[in-house]
Amino acid sequence: MLPSKETEAGLSVAGRVRAVFPPLVTPFRADGALDLGTFEANLDLYTPHDLGGVLVLGSNGEAGSLDEGEKLALVGIARAHTQGRLLLVGTGLESTRGTIALTRKVADLGADAALVLTPHYYKARMTSEALARHFEAVADASPVPILLYSVPAFTGIVWPAGLAEALSAHPRIVGIKESSGDVGLLARLRAGTPPSFAVVSGSAPTFYPALCVDASAGILAVACCAPGVVAALYRAHEAGDHGRAGDLQRALMPLAVAVTAGHGVAGLKAAMDAAGFHGGHVRAPLLPAGEAARREVASALDNLRATVA
């Protein structure tokens, strides 16, 4: 029985954030229109894998390039195809008011938890106090648990020391996704929050060392195109098999780098195409992956298969 299946009765959401989750991409057609059928097809392709659920409307989902109607359609479809597993949904907007409104709507559609991005336009004003009030207000108003979401490469905001530790006292703030790849920060977050608080790695190139400092889970782009390997890494560490976990991490590294720092969402979509999933087009202003990028991700994927097989 899959670990995500046996937990419906009573286990908290945070308690179920102990696994690997792909942050789903949003497939577009060549003309930029949403391709919901392809999105749906991907969801079913993930079903057989050892995953804790999925994240919709994250950074890899090009959430900032979607309008609200598109977002809600994606959530509805994801809910229908993620039965028995966690449906995490990114709801962070620039304003507290907008974030609350969207969080309520996705909760109505069945989201299990909301991932709330750091607001970041007015960078210099996003003090620890401003961020604390924002996350607290969202959590106060949210019908579902909240995961904080820090991703400095996109927001330009370094996560403030002590903020997650303070917010972890809120009954509906149940974890944080930390995507900078700073393993030392993950370790400090782990040390400063209760064991029930989920400290989630958002950086595949450091997933194994993150697990070594007791990260709870991974929401990792590379899990969109290589879910089996990432899940196997997670389980190897869980079983105390450091040798195998380290081997899988080394094998994953080139692909993990290529689909994030290397070529971004367009690279991830190309890797999904090469792996039998459906990446589809990106939405402008993102540029499509060039030939060289496509070859690089395909080659990284081939090497991964050869190594792991």
Question: Cα dihedral sign for 28, 91, 55, 74?
Answer: negative
Tell me whether residue 8 or residue 108 sits nearer to a second copy (CB atom): 108
* Sheet order of strands, 20-21 included: 20-21, 217-219, 198-201, 173-178, 146-150, 113-117, 86-90, 53-56
Q: For a second copy, give the closer residue by CB, 112 or 296.
A: 296
137 binds a second copy (CB under 8 A): yes
Q: Which stretch binds a second copy (CB under 8 A): 35-43, 207-215, 216-224, 269-277?
A: 207-215
Q: Does position 106 bind a second copy by CB under 8 A? A: no
**Paired tokens of 55:** 């994240």
Structure tokens of 40?
A: 């749906």
Catalytic hit among 5, 71, 105, 177: 177
Q: Which of 54, 76, 63 is nearest to 116 (CA)?
A: 63
Task: Supply 115's token pair.
Answer: 């991932």
Closest approach of Cβ 78 to a second copy, in Å?
20
Binding to a second copy (CB under 8 A): which residues in 43-72?
59, 62, 64-67
| Tokens representing residue 285 in the block | 């202003």
Please work out the total of residues on this chain that contact a second copy, with binding judged by CB under 8 A.
61
Query: Applying CB under 8 A, does 209 fall inside the site for a second copy?
Result: yes
Phi/psi for 112 (5° steps) reads -85, -30
Binding to a second copy (CB under 8 A) within 155-194 occurs at 156, 181-184, 187-188, 191
177 classed as catalytic: yes
What is the per-residue DSSP string for 87-133? EEEE---SSHHHHHHHHHHHHHTT-SEEEEEPP-TTGGG--HHHHHH
- Report the C-alpha gap between 226 and 216 in whole angstroms: 19
Please report which helix (H) or strand (E) contains residue 174, including its range.
strand 173-178
Q: How far is the CB of 53 from a second copy (least distance, A)?
A: 24
230-269 footprint of a second copy as x/- string (CB under 8 A): ----------x-x---x--xx--x---x---x--xxx---
Active site residues per annotation:
177
Q: Which residues bind a second copy (CB under 8 A)?
A: 32, 59, 62, 64-67, 94-98, 119, 121-127, 129-131, 133-134, 137, 153-154, 156, 181-184, 187-188, 191, 203, 205-206, 208-210, 212-214, 240, 242, 246, 249-250, 253, 257, 261, 264-266, 283-287
